[in-house]
Amino acid sequence: MPSNSDLIKWAEQGRLHVKYQNCTSGAAAGAATRSAVWTIPNNISNFNPALGGTPNTAALRVGQTVMISDKTPGSNLTNKGVITVAPTAGAPNVVTIAYYEASGQTMAAGVACDIFIYGSEFNKGTDGMVGSNESDDFIFDNKPIIIKDKYSVSGSDMAQIGWIEVSGEDGVSGYLWYLKSEHDTRLRFEDYMETAMIEAVPAEATSGAGDFFQGVAAGNSAANLNGSEGVFFVVGQRGNVFGGGNPTTLAEFDSIIQRLDKQGAIEENVLFVNRDFSFDIDDMLATQNSYGAGGTSYGLFDNDEEMALNLGFSGFRRGYDFYKSDWKYLNDPTMRGGLVGGAINGMLVPAGSTTVYDQILGKNAKRPFLHVRYRASETEDRRYKTWITGSAGGAKTSSLDAMEVNFLTERAVCVLGANNFFLFQDA
């Protein structure tokens, strides 16, 4: 997907409904407490949406009906009430709630509770709701990085004929001359175009990489001018991380599902996993089959006897649909395969697309949750450039007695709705 800017920016919507956690009342439990003043933790990140014109004020208005739930483990204490005094600019995190129950407040003073709005109620012939809510969009950005490579062969070496039989990863086969090395360089570059989008990190302030790229003295570099936010970095910062090794039981997967319930609740998800994680999922699902419980089962699909030895699973449904795919990158011994420090066993990626506000285009756009943007304009396309320079091999662009094959791309990855992603780290 093309981009003509040094910075890619987009906006994602926050939560639709309003809920505040760890709220407390100073009043005692009992019928005498027909209404109470509640304090909401003064954390601006809680206030989304917020009252129009007062972004630091809780989005609670007179007439709205709320449910209050005691957060104490094992408690079943609740109240339902109507807001009688809303927060103000002078008291942005204080609200008065009158209870519907004649028994009054059920929880003791100072007990942490959750409060969420479920509706509103007004008398006949009254004015409308006072105030309105303003949604707070979350603005994210990323910058593209320039990736380069080159293959060079001298004119003298080009005159030495040597044929090599080749069977390449991209399907190329036959007898190639010195271009075997050029062919491998091209394949590596195409791999790096992808792995750089996965592994990239922004250069922190005063970092050595920042000093190098910015050409400043040691420790004088500014933050986020170099590098880019790769998939692993973004999911580690804004997504969900399962750090206890591979989930191998339904109970552990249930905890993941419950976490997804609190996020976007995307119906279909893909698990990109290494070999060990793939086996763990197969073993977990196999125990759910009657064969694993000591019974007899010929197969996993339509009880087909010919399928009896197919012990692999490509997907399963538990709350959501999960599809499993082996990720060669995590198994490759020359890449992430076999790593100990910083090892990652897999990643859960939501399938489909989401709608965001593209600040460069200035309009809403539907984009895949995970996609790559590259620099391009009417005169320059930097998605994947390759060109030949030198004076050998037909190239006549310089006095260099060699042929140089150059590769270049400028791109960045966009992770939309990172809160719906899961990163599975090794224990």
- Residue bearing tokens 């910058």: 143
* Predicted pLDDT at 158: 80
Convert the pLDDT of each residue in 5-52 to its tens digit.
Answer: 788 888 877 777 888 888 999 999 999 999 999 998 865 444 455 555
d(CA 78, CA 148): 61
d(CA 14, CA 8): 20
* Predicted pLDDT at 139: 85
Residues paired with residue 260 on neighbouring β-strands, in sequence order? none
268 is written with which tokens? Answer: 């279909």
How many Cα atoms are found within 13 Å in the side-chain-facing hemisphere of 62?
11
* Predicted pLDDT at 319: 84
* Predicted pLDDT at 238: 92
List C-alpha distances in Å: 346 to 242, 323, 349. 10, 13, 10
Question: Across the 427 residues of the chain, what is the mean pLDDT of every consecutive 10-residue run?
Answer: 75 79 92 93 55 68 95 94 91 93 94 94 92 79 94 85 68 68 89 95 94 94 92 94 89 91 85 93 79 46 49 76 92 92 93 67 72 89 93 87 94 91 90
Distance of CA 189 to the CA centre of its chain: 25
* Predicted pLDDT at 309: 47
Domains of the chain, first to last:
14-138 (2.40.30.270), 143-427 (no CATH)
Convert the pLDDT of each residue in 290-320 to its tens digit.
Answer: 554 444 444 444 555 454 444 556 888 888 8
* Predicted pLDDT at 293: 46
Longest alpha-carbon distance in the chain: 100
